[in-house]
Structure formats: structure tokens, C-alpha cells
Chains A and B, each alone.
Chain A
Amino acid sequence: MNLVEKILAKASGKKEVSPGEIVDANIDRAMIHDLTGPLTIEMFKKIGVEKVWDPEKIVMILDHQVPADTVKSAELHFTMRTFAKEQGIRNFYEIGRGGICHQVMPEKGYVLPGEVIVGADSHTCTYGALGAFATGIGSTEMAAVFATGKLWFKVPQTLNFVAKGMLKQPTSAKDLILHIIGQVGVDGATYKAAEFSGPAISKMSIDGRLTMCNMAVEMGAKTGIIEPDAQTIQYVSARSKKFTPLKSDPDAEYEKTFEIDVNKLEPQVACPPSVDNVKPVSEIEGLEINQGFIGSCTNGRLEDLRAASRILKKNKVHPNVRLIVIPASQEIYQEALREGIIEILAKAGAYISNASCGPCLGGHLGVLAPFETCISTSNRNFIGRMGSPKASVYLASPATVAASAVAGKITDPKTMWRS
């Protein structure tokens, strides 16, 4: 069995499972946030069960519409706080104390290798970076998990993406995952699991691995996953209790294996209106931008802010551009302060905000006017995603966004990386 099959077998109390089989899995951890959580709570109450199956296994995080910008979103937060108190859910993250759910979950030790984790958000697949089976579900399904602690899954086929060679900075994990999505398409992995392996993944930081798995859903995958190694074990051990990492058997089967040579991979950009419309940055260099965004559950981590500060240290944000930087969590914010990164970014003219999802989903921060162009480190460039349906969103790495914000137009970060 491969890694995903092993986790699902363990979670459903079976010796063996194979693709296509439907299993009833025990859920190890369940997460809701302020935009999908209130609906979960309403549905849970409708089911008619008094208490959640296990308050210790539920994590609640305010991150999307934060701080509340309207009475309506304040009400959603109120619903979340009240439910947490009623149910004795201690793992509740208030604004200023947590951050983006998909960063808080691994960072605070809620993601353990070998476990099954569900979240009422499509980017829950991020946690596969630590060797967990993690996937996004809807609010009603989450209500069922709250009531029963279980959920059915069809055991997926697994695609194996083997990244050979070594990424050469400033090319990063984001460029690699954009490249892969460009190759297989936005529905290239629908219903399937995407496993990432190979030397480039082994050498990749946990930050980079989280970025890779975060975007697995953008090719339709049920989850992205990376086999846990010494680096994973070190990261998780520092944050959590004991755990049993699982690994694929030597004769594990995959539906298909893709080999990617990353040695010559250039920085990539996903052009509107689709995440698989991926081109090397050189092909669209020179396109003028109005806004840059460095943040989101894809690229708001420390490594990302470091990359941006490396470019912005001796440069200023172009007068025609606004650059929004949002650390993915309060912990990252504090570390970036200690390292002097925040000061560098602020001096360069970036707008820096508290840890939140920010403009990524067109909620209440940094939305775009018609005919504006944004280059963003987030995960979706759908029409209307970040504000006006007439605006354009390009997806790229933090280095590419920072370099583009300096130049006022889409720019290969190589030109500024060594300056």
C-alpha cells in the first residue's frame, strides 16, 4: 500500500484497502473557520446531537473576515465564540493569537503524520506536507463529523510526482507546484491523491512543502501528501505529542508517476483566469501591475517573507504599486519582527497587516477595482476572486511578487536576487 492507502486503512480499522473502496474513517482532527464554521454550527444543531463527539479534536480559527468589518461578520465571530464555550472547545484561536487556519494547524501541533484531518476549507490539503491525510469538506459534512467523529472516503488513486534535481533560488516551491499544475491541468488529479517525492522535495523546507501540498486542490486533488522524513519528525516533535509516522511499502502502487527535472525550472506565473494557465515569468515580463500581495495560506510563511525582504532590502515599492504583506500567523509575524524583516518591508513601502487571509478571497481587504492587475502569492486567479470580475490576478512566488512590486511590472526575480 502507498502512504494514503495506509493512513485510510489505519483510520478505518482495516488491514488493507485499495483504490475505489469506500471506507468509514475515524477523524483525528477537524477544523472550522469563520466563513464555513457558522454554517457547520447551524447544521450541527439541526442534527439534534447535544455535544460534539470530542471537543479536544476540534480546532476553531478566525481568519477570513478578520477583524470583523461589518456587523454581519461580527455576528459570525460571535457564533463561533459562543459555540466554542458551549461545547468546551479549548482549541479556539481569536484574532491576534492564531492566524490563517492552514498555518495555525501545523504550527500549533494539530497535524500529526499518519492521521486523518478534515477542515471546512478546500486548502486543508496543505497538512499533507507533514504526512497526514488531510482534505477539505463542506459545512454539513463537518456537522456530521462533529456529531459522529467519522466520515466516509473513497480510497483514491495516487499520482506520484517525483521532483528530480535541485531548485535554484530564487526559484521556489511555488514555482514547482505552479509548473506541475500547468502540466496536468486544473482537473488533472480530480478524485485522486497527489504525492510529492524526489530529491527536490527531500531538500525542501517544511515551509516549501506546505506550499506544494496547499495547491494540490488546484489540480483537483483530494489531498497532497509528502512522506514524513527526519525534517518532518523534527518539526512535529517540537510541537506535539507522540505519533506514529507511516510510510509507503516498497512495492506501493501508484496510478501514474510523473518525473520533473527541476534543475532548469524558471520562476513561473499562473495567468488569468485559470491556475493551470502557467507560463515562465520571462514570457510575460513587463506587464504593468497595480498591486502585489505576499501572504495567504500558500505563501505567508517565514521563508516567503525572508525572500521578499531579500529583494526589498535595497529597493522601494514602485510609486504606482501598492504591496500588501500579511504574515500567515501571529507566530510568523513575531519571528519576522525579531529578524527585522517587518522593518525592511515597511521601509520599502509595503502595507503590512495582521495575520489573516486578506485579499486572497476578495473578502474585505485589498480588493481590486475593475481593470486593475494584481500579482499575488495566493492560490487562485479565478475571475472575480479578489474583487472586481474585470480585474486580473497573476499567481507567482514571493520573490517574483516582490521583484514585480519594485519594478512596477511583472519581473523575473533573478535580476534582483543578488543585488
Chain B
Amino acid sequence: MIITGNAVKVGDHINTDLILPGKYLVFIEPEELAKHALEGLDPKFPEKAKGGVILIAGKNFGCGSSREQAPIALKHANVKCIVADSFARIFYRNAINIGLPVVECKEIADKVNEGDQLAVDLAGGVIKDLTLNQSWQVKPVPKFLLEILTAGGLVEYLKKRIKSK
């Protein structure tokens, strides 16, 4: 699975309240959540992400609440993949489970520029910055998580497994 898109950059410790403020948790409809993606940081983000983007983040992305509405909002606001120095663990799991690819790459936030064209190869663990002509080898996403992502998320993955039983 190779994902391409332009980089949108955010900083360190972007928490779930910034990604999706608590007042929107009464919604579960992805389209409604997407309207408020990253609202705490940049209310114009959904507009910025329209064409499909790769989010480049610093340390501890997604810290805070277990609210899955946070990655859902990002995914449906057209974030195709998040590459961060590190993720908070619940967010990391939630993203995979809803079919939003997440990749750890140390210190990438310092190197990539806003708007750079990126290509992320999940299985191979390669991130390419086509604008800078630079690439990084990272730990590939583990096989069983890749299977969940390929299926489109944990629900689809389980559906298939239950059927095949």
C-alpha cells in the first residue's frame, strides 16, 4: 500500500482536544466530525486538507482522550496517512482500527516542509519526500496491523474473519 499526498505540518503533543474538541463528541457521523477536524489548532484545516494530505507531526501525536472520533474526524477530512516522530498509544491503535495509516519516523517533523510531495510505502516502511528527493527507512507497520489497514479497519477485518469461520 503506497500513499501519496502533500504534507501538512503540525507540532509536538497535538492532543485529542485540539484534534476534536469535547463539545463535538455528541456526534458520531464521520462527515459531521470531519467539519471540525483539528479545529482547536486551525479551524481552516478541513479546507486545507480537501484534496487529500499526509499529516506530518512531531512527538506524542494524539495524546489525551481515547475518543475515536479524533482519528475519524481526520480520516474523513481527507488525511490519508499520519507520519509522526511518535504517537500516543491509544490514538495509534484507534487510527489503525478505523483504517487510518499511521507511521512512526523519528525527527521527520524537522525535515519535511509544508506542502512537500510525499509517498509512504507502509509494507516496505519507506517514506519519500519527492520534493526534497530524500527518503527514510522506518520500521514497517507489523503484518497483522497491515492486514487490518488493508481490510479498511478492524470492523471489516473481523467481519471477514467471522465469515471465513
From B21-29, B116-124, B128-136, the one touching the partner chain is B21-29
| Residue numbers in A under 8 Å from B93 (CB-CB) | 137-138, 141
Answer whether residue B162 sits at the interface, using C-beta atoms and an 8 A cutoff: yes
A138 in contact with B63 (CB, 8 Å) = no
A36 contacts which chain B residues (CB < 8 A)? 25, 66-68
Binds B, one of A43-51, A159-167, A262-270, A312-320: A43-51
Please measure, in the bound complex, the distance between the C-alpha atom of A361 and the C-alpha atom of B93, giving whole angstroms.
22
Most buried by A among B15, B40, B89, B98: B89
Binds A, one of B49-57, B107-115, B153-161: B153-161
Of the candidates A35, A148, A363, the one whose C-beta lies within 8 Å of that of B67 is A35
- CA A361 to CA B24, docked complex, whole Å: 11
Among B17, B27, B60, B89, the residue within 8 A (CB) of A382 is B17
Q: Is A16 an interface residue (CB 8 A)?
A: no
Query: Do residues B18 and A383 form an inter-chain contact, with CB atoms below 8 A?
Result: yes
Is B89 within 8 A of A47, CB to CB? no
Q: Is the interface of A mostly helix, strand, loop or mixed?
A: loop
Asked if B80 CB lies within 8 Å of chain A CBs, one says: no
Q: 1/0 contact trace for A359-371 toward B, CB 8 Å?
A: 0011100000000
Asked if B35 is at the interface (CB within 8 A of a chain A CB), the reply is no
Q: Is the CB of A144 within 8 A of B63?
A: no
**Contacts A137-B90, A385-B17, A389-B40; A49 near B162 (Cβ below 8 A):** yes
Q: Does A72 sit within 8 A of B, measured CB to CB? A: yes
Task: State how many angstroms separate the Cβ of A22 from the closest Cβ of chain B.
Answer: 8
Q: Count of chain A residues with Cβ under 8 Å from any Cβ of B?
A: 47
With the chains together, A220 CA to B13 CA distance in Å?
11
Give the top 8 A-B pairs by smallest Cβ distance, nearest first: A138-B94, A138-B68, A187-B60, A361-B22, A136-B66, A140-B97, A122-B66, A382-B17
A residues bordering B, Cβ < 8 Å? Answer: 35-36, 38-39, 42-43, 46-49, 64-65, 70, 72-73, 76, 119-122, 124, 136-141, 143-144, 147-148, 186-187, 190-191, 220, 222, 274, 361-363, 380, 382-385, 389
Sample of 11 A–B contacts (CB below 8 Å): A35-B67, A42-B28, A47-B162, A49-B162, A138-B98, A144-B97, A148-B158, A187-B63, A190-B86, A362-B17, A380-B17
Partner-A contacts on B (CB < 8 A): 13, 15, 17-18, 21-23, 25-28, 40, 59-60, 63-69, 86, 88-90, 93-94, 97-98, 153-155, 158-159, 162
